[in-house]
Amino acid sequence: MNAIISATELASESAGGNPPVILDIRWQLSAAKAAGAPAFDGRAAYEAGHIPGAVYVDLDADLAGPAGAAGRHPLPDVASFGAVMRRAGVSADRDVVVYDGGQGWAAARTWWMLRWTGHPSVRVLDGGLGAWEGPLETSVPSPVPGTFEPAPGAVGLLDADGAAALARSGVLLDARAAERYRGDVEPIDRVGGHIPGAVSAPTAENVAQDGRFLPAEALASHFKSLGVSGDSGEVGVYCGSGVSGAHEVLALAVAGIDAALYVGSWSEWSSDESRPVATGPDPQ
């Protein structure tokens, strides 16, 4: 199944006899929020209007564990994640569609979490809420509880050592903005730069101006230019805290390429002063 779904397709499937579970994951990262001062209230945005039937899921509370040495958005407790999904109506035998405000990062993190824990059919609304042309509702649904039982390990997951090794043996992509990769600026984490051997691949380059993904063929060509091809070996992705990196893993999936995610990402890597840091435009 395709990893993304258009708004037209979602409207059609929602009107059918077996509509998908829809999850609203509106979230934004800002330096202020990272410093502890909330700058965006996803639940308030959801309550002001959401796709009919959608259930709100909080990225920080439900899709990540407490920030710390493992990064700003480490993996959540798997049992707690499963309980959140079941309360939202998620079952393994029912399609799931996730969306956010349009950036796609939070929706992709949810997509990745569900795929990693074994859900067989989850897609991201291409373009997010901004692509939706149907009505919005403000009432909060009470879904029938689902039966989803997470089984971690269905897709690739990297730790810090695995990411370092993959940068040498395969292709490790850094999904952050190029200036953070180079180390010119670092607005959030301890130090700027990148994992030695990683290739700069800003996730913003995977989408058009309206937030929709580039066509699969264009994405495949783009990733090939970065060294990702049939003979490049394993592929991994990291970012600042495992959120925008999930969006790049999703873009790779659209292009037909499997990739592992380093969830701890730069926020974990850079917190340990013993780990090497490379700067400048080149991988090494």
Provide the CA 130 distance to its chain's centre, in angstroms.
18
What 3-state class would DSSP assign to 165?
helix
Cα separation, 154 vs 246, whole angstroms: 15
First to last CA, the chain: 37
- Spell out the residues 6+ positions from residue 225 whose beta carbon is closer than 8 angstroms to its own: none
Residue of 171, 219, 239, 250 marked catalytic: 239
For this structure, is 284 an active site residue?
Answer: no
The DSSP-derived string for 220-262 is: HHHHHHTT-STTS--EEEE-SSSSHHHHHHHHHHHTT---EEE
Query: What is the residue whose two structure tokens read 């903005």?
Result: 177
What 3-state class would DSSP assign to 156?
coil
8 sits in which H/E element: helix 7-14
Q: Would you state the structure tokens that stand for residue 101, as one six-digit string?
A: 């405000």
* C-beta of residue 260 within 8 angstroms of C-beta of residue 155: yes
Query: What is the residue whose two structure tokens read 């780990």?
Result: 275
* C-beta of residue 56 within 8 angstroms of C-beta of residue 50: yes
List, by residue number, the catalytic residues.
239
